[in-house]
Amino acid sequence: TYDSLCLSCSESGCVEKKTACHIDNVCYKHNQIKPKDVRLMCNTTKDTTAWSQNPNSGIITTPISWIMILATALILVTSV
């Protein structure tokens, strides 16, 4: 199906644009967040055919060290 967001067509045929992501046969605009997963986004500067990590998701994706949970506070290990 033709989608002007992902395809540029002329009389000789169509080519995928590098300004949008084409993932699983669906077209997504640059910086669009993956539906139902804020950790991933379309980042055309990294990959136009797969999801990229969303650096602004607010979700910690790196391991952290912690001591305990006290009420609603997570007590983290700090270096001196």
Name residues whose C-beta falls within 8 Å of residue 19's C-beta, 6 or more positions apart in sequence: 30, 44
Kindly state the tokens that stand for 51.
């999801």
Residue 13 located in a structural domain: no
The strand pair at 33-34 and 37-41 is best described as antiparallel
Q: Does residue 3 form part of some domain?
A: no
Residue 45: give the domain boundaries.
19-76
pLDDT score at 80: 47
CA distances from 8 to 29, 42, 64 (A): 14, 19, 45
- The closest alpha carbon to 13, from 2, 24, 26, belongs to 2
Tens of pLDDT, residue by residue, the chain (80 residues): 678 888 999 999 999 899 999 999 899 999 999 999 988 999 999 999 999 999 887 766 566 666 667 777 766 776 54
Does 6 fall in a domain?
A: no
- pTM, two decimals, is 0.64
Q: How many domains does the chain have?
A: 1
